[in-house]
Amino acid sequence: NNSLTGQLEYTDSEPIVYALNYRPKLPGPEDSITVTAAVFCPVSVAGVDIAFRPGNLTVIETIPMIYQPVLSSKKIEDADRWIGVIPPLGPGGFGAFHINIKGGNTALSGYPRNGYITLSVIEPQVSGLKINEFMASNSRTVSDEAGEFDDWLEIMNVGNQSVSLNGLYLTDKIDNFTKWRFSLSDSILAPGEFLLIWCDDDEEQGGYHTNFKLSANGEFLAIVAEDGVTVLDSISFGEQSADISYGRYPDGYDAWQYFSIPTPGASNDVGTSVNGSRAATEFQLFRNYPNPFNMTTTIYYSLSGKAFVRLAVFDLSGRLVESLLDREQAAGEHYFIWQTAHLSSGIYFCELKTEKTLRRIKMMLLK
């Protein structure tokens, strides 16, 4: 463009990270940590890496990030999105990471410019309290006592003793564990009992109405002990759909699924999952966790009766990648830890099959 003289030229400018996120913010010992970065360079981006330093070691592990734009999104940061996965830190683990960028003009830069972003494993203390179900976008499903359709979450006591909630905290902020406090002296949850809490940023309604709302774009939730530090239970979740809840199935278990017919204040065993099947039907194949994952993921499923089970993984073309299981199993909850060191990054499908029924889930491997 020669219409103006003395224009600035940015062809030699260094690349930048202008948006960064990672989840979960408080990883468990077996959680992979997915890092997303929006990267820009006036010429082009030649490569992006995560420089990861595990524990107190001086060694730096290089984890390549993959360019994965969200083509359906209108957000500029989704068009510049790069994704990488840090492997699980293990029990009591910690570490730090830094993003390195190389521009097509050979310019180099990093983010943060100084230092590293620290990570540490938070292992929830033994407690009977669990966040059992929540809805972050409620437009017509269930209303509060004022007739308003607000965000909500459900707490369950999965222990065998009654628990007093008085003095405990709920939060949606990783940097503010004391965001909202249970203050009712009669807040006692019996074994197996559920409590519905409205997350509507309207404490003036009294009772169980918090001072924060849930984000349908995804965020962090936790139950915190009276000391304001100890995490009793937590979850980091992604983008949510309107009037679809996300809950544990079975109640209190580590496996989560979406429900088109939610059950606020009641057992998820009677809810209806998004594929239309009853949660208590012949068998269920749950979403693997973590997903996306790096190297290892756990596949959860349940059987209501003895059945001959075939568990297998296929690629996008339908080719059999690996047969994981081919035998008879008893009724109950089951899981399979899938190791993928021999496979490349990509989309895979896990298939659970019995004589009468078949289920599939999609999994994303990022290395």
pLDDT band at 125 (very low <50, low <70, confident <90, very high): low
Q: DSSP states of 227-265 as a string?
A: TSS-EEEEEEE----TT-EEEESSTTSS-EEEEEE--TT
Confidence (pLDDT) at 2? 56
Say which residue, 155 or 333, is predicted with more confidence: 155
Residue 205 has φ and ψ, to the nearest 5°, of: -70, -15
Please state which of the ranges 113-122, 269-278, 352-361 shows the lowest mean pLDDT. 269-278
Confidence (pLDDT) at 277? 41
Mean pLDDT over all residues of the chain?
85
Q: Find the distance separating the first CA and the last CA of the chain, reported in whole Å.
A: 42
CATH number of 16-120: 2.60.40.10
**Is 109 a residue whose pLDDT tops 60?**
yes
Residue 367's closest CA among 348, 349, 344? 344
Please list, residue by residue across 145-182, b when 16 or more beta carbons sit within 10 angstroms of its beta carbon and e when fewer do. eeeebbbbbbbbbbbeeebebeebbbbbeeeebebbbb
Percent residues over pLDDT 70 in the chain? 91
Confidence (pLDDT) at 280? 37
Confidence (pLDDT) at 281? 42
Q: Is pTM beyond 0.75 here? A: no
Taking only the tens place, the pLDDT of each residue in 250-307 is: 888 888 888 888 889 888 876 555 554 433 344 677 777 777 788 888 887 877 778 8
User: Once rounded to an integer, what is the mean pLDDT over residues 319-335?
Assistant: 86
- Give domain limits for the chain: 16-120, 129-273, 283-365
CATH assignment of 129-273, given 3.40.50, 3.10.450, 2.60.40, 1.10.1200?
2.60.40
Say which residue, 232 or 305, is predicted with more confidence: 232
Confidence (pLDDT) at 161? 85
CATH number of 283-365: 2.60.40.2550
**Is 1 a residue whose pLDDT tops 60?**
no
Residue with tokens 């936790």: 222
Say which residue, 244 or 13, is predicted with more confidence: 244
**Is 321 a residue whose pLDDT tops 60?**
yes
CA distance 202 to 157: 25
Confidence (pLDDT) at 270? 66
SS (H, E, C) 298-334: EEEEEECCCEEEEEEEEECCCCEEEEEEEEEECCEEE
Confidence (pLDDT) at 12? 64
pLDDT band at 20 (very low <50, low <70, confident <90, very high): very high
Taking only the tens place, the pLDDT of each residue in 170-217 is: 999 988 999 999 987 668 898 899 999 999 999 998 889 999 999 998
Same fold, 16-120 and 129-273: yes
Confidence (pLDDT) at 4? 59
* CA dist list (Å): 363 to 25, 211, 313, 338: 21, 36, 10, 11
